Amino acid sequence: MSNQDWLSRSTQAVWHPCTQMKRHERFPLVPIASAQGAWLTDFDGKRYLDAVSSWWVNLLGHGHPRIKQAIRDQLDTLEHVMLAGFTHRPVIELSERLTALTGLGHAFYGSDGASATEIALKMSFHYWKNNGQAEKCRFISLENSYHGETVGALAVTDVPLFSATYAPLLQKALRVPTPDARLAAPGESASDVARRAAQALENVLAKRAGEVAALILEPLVQGAAGMAMYHPDYLREARRLCDRYRVHLIADEIAVGFGRTGTLFACEQAGIRPDFLCLSKGITGGFLPLSCVLTSDEVYRAFYSDDVRDGFLHSHSYTGNPLACSAALAVLDTLQEEDILAQNRDKAARFSHLLAPLAARDDVRHFRQQGMIWAFDVESPRGDFAQAFFAAMLERGCLVRPIGTSVYFMPPYCLQDDEMQQLADATQQTLDQLSRSESGATSQPALP
Ligand SMILES: *Cc1c(COP(=O)(O)O)cnc(C)c1O
């Protein structure tokens, strides 16, 4: 079967996510037959360098032998058992390991990132309710935040393209300014922007803390905002203010956890511990859906009672799936035993060096890097920049999906030097090409 055969069958039968399906009349889907390392291969044998880790989930590379083996081994003993009333080795070991790494002693599981957000929001509210403060039922999130797209998570997500349509269904969250370092006024440092944003947060807390259960944020990098990066001072201030005003801090590390920002968890760079830590995406190396919310003894104790209604009565059918937990254990083993984060530091330095000419271009603004994430904004008159850039990069054998005019790379950690070079060259050529060609298309909102 060729690409073309799969294409028509897919558009007939599959409703693709985050997509205006009619666009596929002009921009065909890419049917993928196999993947290995940083590469995807289609049914006609063309290869694509996966520079976005398949929507940020693939951590160590496709087809990673150790993760595959862990899933195979688990498959021979136990594929799944319900986690209410039952337990099993992989979920116990994973919970112990995550606790040791985060200092948060209790792990609650879900399947996708959005379900982790839902769990954290519900748990936070329920904690206050069990403590006789049911009026603390609102949430604060940041401008340009993204925490998932189920109805609860969408309420704390500030991406109008995703949320505006569903506004009548959503709880009204309180929104505070983003500490995005790109907002620095002349002479202002990233830390100044962070402090300014923290002051705005304090103003809201001073007035509203009595009705607020939690502040939810993406530590260091707001992914769906186009990889907006900010100074860790904001996290330190947020922690201090949440303590002072008695509001939970929920750290959504669904995208930035597991070494993405250079440390195993982004919060480490601010030396803070959240009350809830949401993990997903890279947790299984991009092999299987799994999410986890870690929380403190204090939160856990508020649910521990003789009354069943004080308990956290929330569940998903696949909670703590053994295959997914085994994949996650293999990821943690690999990160530790192969000292991947130290290797990433050298890798990141080399890639940043290769990208220096790109950063120096006249049409490139705000070149930024944090761990294994690189991003920059392109000054382009084209309304269809994201789509045109994506298509032109695909021609050159690279998968890069800009968010608006923000181009970013979030590659699997297995990325090699020759692949970095290829990505840098293809990006230069594509920017040159797009600056020469006129835009035929009208402006359309860009999807991540
Ligand atoms: C992707 C993401 C989510 C949602 O995860 P899904 O698995 O797509 O539901 C939530 N928060 C952040 C920061 C994310 O990047």
CB proximity list for 397: less than 8 A, separation 6 or greater: 46, 47, 48, 49, 422, 426
- The pLDDT of residue 439: 65
Q: How far is the CA of 163 from the centre of ligand 1 (A)?
A: 14
Please indicate whether residue 442 or residue 165 has the higher confidence score (pLDDT).
165
Torsion of the alpha carbons at 323, 80, 120 and 154, rounded to the nearest 10: 80
Whether the CB-CB separation of 215 and 251 falls below 8 Å is answered with no
- The protein residue with its alpha carbon nearest to ligand 1, atom 15, reads 255
| Coil, strand or helix at 407 | strand
Q: Within 10 Å of residue 113's Cβ, how many Cβ atoms?
A: 28
Q: What is the pLDDT of residues 389-424, one digit of tens each?
A: 999 999 999 999 999 999 999 999 999 999 999 999
- The pLDDT of residue 139: 98
Q: Rounded distance, CA 45 to CA 27, Å?
A: 19
pLDDT category at 441 given cuts 50, 70, 90 is low
Q: What is the pLDDT of residues 328-381, one digit of tens each?
A: 999 999 999 999 999 999 999 999 999 999 999 999 999 999 999 999 999 999
- The pLDDT of residue 385: 96
> Where are the domain boundaries for CATH 3.90.1150.10 in the chain?
3-63+340-435
Q: How far is the CA of 255 from the centre of ligand 1 (A)?
A: 7
Q: pLDDT over 70 for what percent of the chain?
A: 98
Q: Which of 54, 139, 146 to mutate to test the pocket of ligand 1 (most atoms within 8 A of CB)?
A: 146
pLDDT category at 166 given cuts 50, 70, 90 is very high
Ligand 1 binding pocket, CB closer than 6 Å: 112-114, 117, 146-148, 218, 223, 252, 254-255, 280-281
Q: What mean pLDDT value characterizes the chain?
A: 96
Q: pLDDT over 90 for what percent of the chain?
A: 94
SS percent in the chain: helix, strand, coil, step 5: 45, 15, 40
Q: How far is the CA of 291 from the centre of ligand 1 (A)?
A: 10
Q: Within 10 Å of residue 396's Cβ, how many Cβ atoms?
A: 17
pLDDT category at 105 given cuts 50, 70, 90 is very high
Q: Which atom, in ligand 1's list, is nearest to the CA of 150? A: 9
| Mutual angle of helices 190-208 and 233-245, in 10-degree steps | 10
Q: How far is the CA of 218 from the centre of ligand 1 (A)?
A: 10
Q: Which atom, in ligand 1's list, is nearest to the CA of 115? A: 9
CA 248 to chain centre: 21
Q: Rounded distance, CA 373 to CA 250, Å?
A: 22
Q: Within 10 Å of residue 159's Cβ, how many Cβ atoms?
A: 18
Is the per-residue pLDDT at 32 higher than 80? Answer: yes
The mean pLDDT value for 149-169 works out to 97
> Where are the domain boundaries for CATH 3.40.640.10 in the chain?
65-338
Q: Rounded distance, CA 253 to CA 206, Å?
A: 26
Q: Rounded distance, CA 23 to CA 10, Å?
A: 14
User: For residue 351, how many C-alpha atoms fall within 13 Å in the half-sphere facing its CB?
Assistant: 32
Q: Domain 3-63+340-435: which CATH class? A: alpha beta
Whether the CB-CB separation of 159 and 146 falls below 8 Å is answered with yes
Q: Which CATH number fits domain 65-338: 3.40.640.10, 3.20.20.70, 1.25.40.10, 3.30.360.10?
A: 3.40.640.10
Q: What is the pLDDT of residues 288-322, one digit of tens each?
A: 999 999 999 999 999 999 999 999 999 999 999 99
Is the per-residue pLDDT at 72 higher than 80? Answer: yes
Host H or E run for residue 174: strand 174-176
pLDDT category at 91 given cuts 50, 70, 90 is very high
- The protein residue with its alpha carbon nearest to ligand 1, atom 6, reads 113
Is the per-residue pLDDT at 448 higher than 70? Answer: no
Both tokens assigned to 344: 């990433």
Q: Rounded distance, CA 247 to CA 209, Å?
A: 7
The mean pLDDT value for 122-130 works out to 98
The mean pLDDT value for 114-130 works out to 98
Q: Which of 254, 265, 283, 410 to mutate to test the pocket of ligand 1 (most atoms within 8 A of CB)?
A: 254
